[in-house]
């Protein structure tokens, strides 16, 4: 069963925002990915600017990852008469190609793309990419993401990764405190098994802050037309643009808000009740949060319950519905760490190469 955009957008309460007159109009969402198929019906006249930061010869999206995420954030749904439009169909898209046609990107490309998005005055930056190597979150991309998130009003929305269900599996650059890290849920708001869990290793920052639909999402497919206009993918890569689109809707409704106005992500504030203090009733005390659960559970005492934002409820990286989940390709090429999207491999590819491991390229 597929969670098409006409199903996943209601899951984050986007139709209620549209009915109130908020569809992201007047905002700009920067999508840093594999570029897009700008001729796809859902993206025609939706792209305001593009820039290639890779060594690829052109800006065509031969992977299809960027086209899928961009249409989820702000596609028009024109290929299905508007039924499969993105969360913020009124927003304009700024497309930065920071991942090659093989699905990887160097640190310098990603950092340059983030700086470009900020210089373009993007209202939101969506990044469905990452490096699963666990560390202390002090790599160049993490440091640059934290610096830009703290110094600029632009919120960065970053995929949590697809290395769940174990705890402490979120990594760079979603590990920094000042970004919104996004996990994935299915149609029943149940956390997807592949969705990476927090807290961050070494620093113990609580992650992810939010989750959104990321299982079997059907959105625009690069090169697809007619009955092939859409393709189905799963992962936190698919969840991230749902949150980025919702952030654009919030920005339209509250143009003076900044990322700092939402509270600094990654910190827990105790809930204090007014009046006389009472001794806790152990029989009624809320269930303690288990490691790796969404932060929404901390506030509600119920597992899997999602946080609420003004734009609606917000519940990875990606995998094909019929494929086998594999971790990101992390290569060392001439001394440079390479970040990549979360790639899935179909049954035939898995039969040839098995489960992809670290140090291999995405085929």
Spot the catalytic one: 237, 242, 317, 340. 237
Spot the catalytic one: 65, 317, 318, 339. 65
Residues forming a β-bridge with 31: 95, 126
Q: Is 211 known to be catalytic?
A: no
Spot the catalytic one: 8, 23, 33, 211. 33
Q: Is 33 known to be catalytic?
A: yes
Q: Is 128 known to be catalytic?
A: no
Residues with a catalytic annotation lie at 33, 65, 237
């Amino acid at each position: 069963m597929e969670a098409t955009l006409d199903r996943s957008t209601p899951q984050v309460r986007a139709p209620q925002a549209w009915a109130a007159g908020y569809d992201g109009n007047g905002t700009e969402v920067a999508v840093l990915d594999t570029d897009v198929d700008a001729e796809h019906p859902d993206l025609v006249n939706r792209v305001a600017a593009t820039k290639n930061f890779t060594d690829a010869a052109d800006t065509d999206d031969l992977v299809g990852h960027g086209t899928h995420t961009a249409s989820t954030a702000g596609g028009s749904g024109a290929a299905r008469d508007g039924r499969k439009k993105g969360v913020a169909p009124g927003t304009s898209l700024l497309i930065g190609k920071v991942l090659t046609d093989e699905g990887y990107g160097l640190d310098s490309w990603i950092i340059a793309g983030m700086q470009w998005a900020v210089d373009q005055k993007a209202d939101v930056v969506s990044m469905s990419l990452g490096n699963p190597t666990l560390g202390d979150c002090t790599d160049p991309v993490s440091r640059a993401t934290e610096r830009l998130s703290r110094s600029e009003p632009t919120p960065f929305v970053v995929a949590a990764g697809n290395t769940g269900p174990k705890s402490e599996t979120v990594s760079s650059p979603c590990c920094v405190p000042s970004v919104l890290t996004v996990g994935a849920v299915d149609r029943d708001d149940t956390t997807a098994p592949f969705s990476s869990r927090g807290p961050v290793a070494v620093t113990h920052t609580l992650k992810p802050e939010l989750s959104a639909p990321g299982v079997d999402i059907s959105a625009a497919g690069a090169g697809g037309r007619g009955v092939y206009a859409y393709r189905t993918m799963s992962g936190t890569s698919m969840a991230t643009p749902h949150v980025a689109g919702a952030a654009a809707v919030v920005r339209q409704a509250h143009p003076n808000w900044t990322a700092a106005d939402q509270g600094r992500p990654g910190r827990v504030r105790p809930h204090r009740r007014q009046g006389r203090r009472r001794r806790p009733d152990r029989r009624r005390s809320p269930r303690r949060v288990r490691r790796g659960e969404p932060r929404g559970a901390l506030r509600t005492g119920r597992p899997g319950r999602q946080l609420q934002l003004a734009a609606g409820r917000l519940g990875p990286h990606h995998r094909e519905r019929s494929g086998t989940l594999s971790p990101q390709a992390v290569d060392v090429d001439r001394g440079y760490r390479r970040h990549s999207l979360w790639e899935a491999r179909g049954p035939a590819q898995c039969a040839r190469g098995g489960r992809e491991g670290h140090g291999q390229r995405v085929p």
